[in-house]
Amino acid sequence: MALAPARGTPWWIGLSWLPPLVLRGLPRVGALALATGMTVFFRDPERAAEGPGLLAPADGLVRQVELRDGRWFVSTYLALYNVHVTRMPCDATVVTQTHVEGPHKLAFADDAHVNERMEWTLATPHGELGMVQFSGAAARRIVPYVGAGAEVSRGDRIGLIRFGSRVDLLLPPGVEPAVAEGIRVRAGETVIAR
């Protein structure tokens, strides 16, 4: 009968009853699981737009669509299993890009608007487009691929938000959403506004 390990003994000592072959394989299984998880999370598939209009900037669930001071606001929540590469909704020039420090609350929470974020102002053929990438509770870093002054085409990759997040759009005046709350969208593919 195996005795319980003494206090202060590393936890893996309690696994000494396992056959040596299994013990040698455990780190490999753990490393393989971690590598598989990272590969799935950081995937970046090619995308083709479904039609004319502004494209979804992120994969995920549309959590909010509302009219704010005459402009439509569309918010998309990205779960851990979504692709986290952000794409440009339409042809645009990056006017400003501002990183704002903040906490790391759950991205779907009502008070997540104070989270760490990257605020974008974009000049488009349709008018000014506002976009904000938010970090979440697990997301700790927003990585922009382009900076102020960059001219970007519709569907181009413009950044990455690591490990769960949210992307908000403030559409140009006169542009109306083509999605509703609860709809799942795919970045660079789903038309989000016309």
- pLDDT tens digits for 105-118? 887 787 888 999 99
- Residue-level pLDDT at 79: 86
Q: 180 and 137: one domain? A: yes
Question: pLDDT tens digit string along 47-70?
Answer: 888 889 999 999 999 999 999 999
Instruction: Note down the domain range covering 160.
Output: 54-193
Q: 73 and 154: one domain? A: yes
Q: 127 and 88: one domain? A: yes
Question: Please, are residues 72 and 91 in contact by the beta-carbon 8 Å criterion?
Answer: no
Q: 37 and 62: one domain? A: no
Q: 59 and 34: one domain? A: no
**Is the pLDDT at 1 greater than 60, yes or no?**
no
Q: Output the average pLDDT for the chain.
A: 86
Cα separation values, 125 from 45, 92, 108, 138, 147, Å: 27, 7, 31, 35, 19
**Is the pLDDT at 37 greater than 90, yes or no?**
no
Let me know if 79 is exposed, middle or buried by CB neighbors in 10 A (0-12, 13-18, 19+): middle
Question: pLDDT tens digit string along 121-169?
Answer: 999 999 999 999 998 877 578 999 999 999 999 999 999 987 668 999 9
Q: 63 and 93: one domain? A: yes
Amino acid at 20: P
Q: 59 and 33: one domain? A: no
Report the pLDDT averaged over residues 26-45.
Answer: 68
Q: Is the pTM of this model over 0.85?
A: no
CATH number at residue 95: 2.70.70
DSSP letter assigned to residue 167:
E
Instruction: Confirm whether 10 is domain-assigned.
Output: no
The sheet with strand 127-135 has its strands ordered as 151-152, 92-100, 117-124, 127-135, 165-170, 71-78, 60-68, 184-185
Instruction: Confirm whether 116 is domain-assigned.
Output: yes
Separation of alpha carbons 72 and 76, rounded Å: 13
Separation of alpha carbons 78 and 112, rounded Å: 13
Question: Please, are residues 192 and 185 in contact by the beta-carbon 8 Å criterion?
Answer: yes
Could you give the number of structural domains in the chain?
A: 2
Instruction: Confirm whether 3 is domain-assigned.
Output: no
Q: 86 and 124: one domain? A: yes
Q: 27 and 58: one domain? A: no
Q: 79 and 121: one domain? A: yes
Residues serving a catalytic function are 165
Q: 148 and 87: one domain? A: yes
Q: 61 and 119: one domain? A: yes
**Is the pLDDT at 184 greater than 60, yes or no?**
yes
